[in-house]
Amino acid sequence: MEKLTPAERHFERGRHTVGLFIGPLAALLLMLWPIPQLSPAAHKLAGIIGWIVIWWITEPIPIPMSALLGAVLCVLFGIAPARQVFAPFADPTIYLFLGSFILAEGMSVHGLHKRIAWSLMSMRWVGNSPARILLVYGAAAAAISMWISNTATTAMMLPIGLGIVSALDEQQPQPRFSTGMLLMAAYAASAGGIGTPVGTPPNLIGLAMIEKFAGIRISFFQWMLFAIPLLICMYALLFALLYLLHRPHRPAAGNLQFTRFKKEIRPLSRGEFNALWAFLVTVLLWIMPGIITLLQGADSPLAKSINDRLPEAAAVLIGAGLLFVLPIDWPKRKFTLTWKQATRIDWGTLVLFGGGIALGQLMFETKLAEAVGKELLSWSGASSTWGVTLAAIYIAIMVSETTSNTAAANMVVPVMLSLCLTAHINPVPPALGATLAASWGFMLPVSTPPNAIVYGSGLVPITKMIRAGILFDLLGGILIWLGLRVLLPLVGLA
């Protein structure tokens, strides 16, 4: 639970209150302000999006409800009929989210994700070296976050980190290293999400928008071909940065990690086994079309059939469905996951995704995104694919510092796609740059839930978070740009 000081509570209350009134006022002003280059529908949509963006940033009401309100306002103002506006809420990517969340819940219910983390931390190689402790701790957070939410990953890794910090403090207090450990939990969890399409909501938002508006489909396997190498480089940067900024005074004595964490590892339960099996089946179904395409070519009948009949959404729903039929106790008809447990998933993200896609689609159809893209193009001076990509990355990073990564992707990706299509340049690198950078909010506790979770521990001073966050934002943005420039041509996307 996030802990706020009285001054922070006062600021948050003021932020919510001001945003509540500024949002509709901004919409009214935008609608009344003469903008001759916009059509009437685009003009009204600009006002609505201005309202919703302000509410996404200031959060006077829950962000998912703001997304729903935006869709409703589009219908009320006659921008598009209800059937068209609400169709994105049934987009196949919604079901990819749904299945992924259910699969992650199954892993969480039975503690499979904790087992993975404890097993890594109990390796003898980790020993008493602070550098190896930090390296493996962050690697565990990044690896787990490739498959479950960064928030859940951080919440799981925090008590492990606190246990490590406590063990080190028994030898000698290490406040600087303690700060680095907890920042690693938050930052590695957020960075790890870029590794797979399901690792974080912006990935799926970017993929859906690229396919919908640019007509380019990026498969699960194709994403991992460029994202995994990029993640490895990004994690190396993160580890070096946090270790250099929070180097401990001296190593702890004794092989404290092995003895402390080995006690937490118990035999694999039936529920963990079932959750692991469902997860592995899902991953196999996700990557199988890409492997077949790689081996036989995209034009082979088998590759075409597999790609048509086994999209990512269907694959993950098969894996999620297994959780409801794999028994834990057959005589009692007790299965791996119950529907009551499954309903604990983050439904708000599904709603926010649907609302973001709806607004993005209307921005394209009314040509509002084209107008905004032209303005950004003239303002930034970028004219090449990679110049626009660099601008897209840092715009998304700045937006993600003030609102959720999902909202940031919903705001920036459609504008970048429209900008590229208008300028007749390849839209994939800028759109992917904005997609990845939307997860890059590391400066403030309000930037991401993982930041808020570790800040609430009381062991992360705000000045230390800002210092590390600014450096990782700046260096990470450059690394994203370099990684995409090197890797995308190798996988046929640039």
Complete DSSP assignment for 379-404? HH---SHHHHHHHHHHHHHHHHTTS-
Tens digit of each residue's pLDDT (9 = 90 or more) over 313-324: 888 899 999 999
d(CA 161, CA 134): 9
What pLDDT band is residue 1 in, cutting at 50, 70 and 90?
very low
Return the amino acid letter for 493.
L
More confident residue, 145 or 324: 324
CB atoms within 10 A of CB 5: 9
Tens digit of each residue's pLDDT (9 = 90 or more) over 205-252: 899 889 888 888 888 888 999 999 999 999 999 999 999 998 876 555
Are 407 and 401 a contacting pair, CB within 8 Å?
A: no
**CA-wise closest residue to 262 among 366, 95, 118:** 118
pLDDT of residue 258: 46
- Overall average pLDDT of the 98-119 stretch: 78
Are 413 and 420 a contacting pair, CB within 8 Å?
A: no
d(CA 308, CA 400): 35
For the ranges 42-51, 104-113, 481-490, which has the lowest average pLDDT? 104-113
Are 427 and 190 a contacting pair, CB within 8 Å?
A: no
pLDDT at 263 exceeding the cut of 60: no
- Overall average pLDDT of the 375-384 stretch: 68
d(CA 303, CA 301): 6
More confident residue, 271 or 156: 271
pLDDT of residue 169: 61
d(CA 297, CA 6): 61
Phi and psi (nearest 5°) for 329? -140, 95
pLDDT of residue 464: 85
More confident residue, 249 or 33: 33
pLDDT of residue 56: 78
pLDDT at 386 exceeding the cut of 80: yes
What pLDDT band is residue 5 in, cutting at 50, 70 and 90?
low
Sign of dihedral through CA atoms 63, 67, 70, 72? negative
- Overall average pLDDT of the 113-123 stretch: 69
Quick one: tokens of 393?
A: 């990355």
How high is the mean pLDDT of the chain?
83
Phi and psi (nearest 5°) for 272? -65, -40
Of the chain, the percentage scoring pLDDT greater than 70 comes to 87
Which helix (H) or strand (E) segment holds residue 426: the answer is: none
pLDDT at 388 exceeding the cut of 50: yes
More confident residue, 412 or 120: 412
- Overall average pLDDT of the 11-15 stretch: 83
What pLDDT band is residue 115 in, cutting at 50, 70 and 90?
confident
pLDDT of residue 101: 79
Are 476 and 178 a contacting pair, CB within 8 Å?
A: no
pLDDT at 415 exceeding the cut of 80: yes
Q: Look at the block and give the residue holding tokens 């692991």.
A: 276
pLDDT at 406 exceeding the cut of 70: yes
What pLDDT band is residue 477 in, cutting at 50, 70 and 90?
very high
β-bridge mates for residue 327, sequence order: 335
Are 396 and 447 a contacting pair, CB within 8 Å?
A: no
What pLDDT band is residue 253 in, cutting at 50, 70 and 90?
very low
- Overall average pLDDT of the 137-165 stretch: 80
d(CA 145, CA 485): 25
Q: Look at the block and give the residue holding tokens 């919440």.
A: 155
d(CA 426, CA 488): 12
Quick one: tokens of 263?
A: 């006690």
d(CA 438, CA 424): 24
pLDDT at 398 exceeding the cut of 60: yes
pLDDT of residue 475: 94
Q: What are the start-end ranges of the H helices in 323-367? A: 339-342, 347-365
**Vertex 356: Cα angle to 35 and 68 (nearest 5):** 95
Cα 4 from chain centre:
24
